[in-house]
Structure 1
Amino acid sequence: MAVRKIEHVGIMVTNMERSVAFYRDVIGLEPLGTLDHGNGTIKLAFLGFPGAKETQVELIEGYDGTLAEEGKVHHIAFTVDDLDAELARIEKHDVKFIDPDVTTLPNGARYRFFYGPDGEWIEFFQPA
């Protein structure tokens, strides 16, 4: 098969510095670099997991907000080893949780959603 992996997930943001800080400090991603798109308007930032050079998240600043017709992403999920510990850690960053409690699936996997700086939905997911 020619398709091997997800290259990245692009997230539209309104303030690049704020969003880079959020994904660095709250999620734990490392900034890998930035790039001007070349059209004079759009700026890109690439972030990945510590020790990995592959891009996992691409932040996109400069769209006018009318891009919704190109597609919508319901949420981005990050696997964590210890959901309770991670939730306690990010509470110190004053994140706003979407669901009132942790959800446990019938197979024992657990997750909880919270908002990113532009209202994007983020999930921390602990496999069974």
Structure 2
Amino acid sequence: MAVRKLEHVGIMVANLEKSISFYTEIIGLIHLNTIVHTNGVIRLAFLAGADARETEVELIEGYNHSLPAEGKVHHIAFTVDDVEAEFDRIKELGIPLRDTEITTLPNGSRYFFFYGPDGEFLEMFQPGAK
């Protein structure tokens, strides 16, 4: 058995339209499609990055949006070219920040955390030296 790729990461949300708007307008993902589950209750929206669509973010409405923000999946990281510009942009938009400054790792990678519309942890990540 071999895993070929990471398909998607699911995030339970309270309001699908609000979350789609956040992930497209603030994060910059592309909304691929929205479907209703076969049970007729749960709605699913799939989003992906403009350049790399191998892994998708799945927003799930109607299941259990009341899970704690820091649960089994700790956070989702998005690769960016300029973490400082993203930090300033997120701050200017009034998006709640988890970090008050950008963290730099020993390999030069830099990142910061902020919160999504349902309190989920999100990260903007600029890779360092490989």
Would you call these one fold, judging by a TM-score over 0.5?
yes
**Paired residue secondary structure (1:72):** coil
Q: Which residue of 1 aligns with 2:57?
A: 57
- Is the 8 Å Cα contact of residues 32 and 53 (structure 1) preserved in structure 2? no
Indicate the percent of aligned positions where both proteins have the same amino acid.
62
After TM superposition, the runs of 4+ consecutive aligned structure 1 residues lying more than 3 A away are: 51-55, 64-68
Gaps of at least 5 residues in structure 1 are none
- Is the 8 Å Cα contact of residues 46 and 55 (structure 1) preserved in structure 2? no
Q: Deviations over 1:74-99 (max 9, x none)?
A: 00011111001112222333210001
Q: Which residue of 1 aligns with 2:125?
A: 125
What TM-score, normalized to structure 1? Answer: 0.89
Paired with 2:90 and 2:14, the residues of 1 have a C-alpha distance of 21
What TM-score, normalized to structure 2? Answer: 0.88
Q: Which moved more, 1:82-91 or 1:40-49?
A: 82-91
What are the equivalent positions in structure 2 for 1:61-72 lying under 5 Å apart?
Answer: 61-65=61-65, 72=72
Q: How many residues align?
A: 126
Please give the root-mean-square deviation of Cα atoms over the aligned residues, in Å.
Answer: 1.8
Q: Which residue of 2 aligns with 1:35?
A: 35
Counterpart of 2:7, as a letter, is: E
**Paired residue secondary structure (2:88):** helix
Gaps of at least 5 residues in structure 2 are none
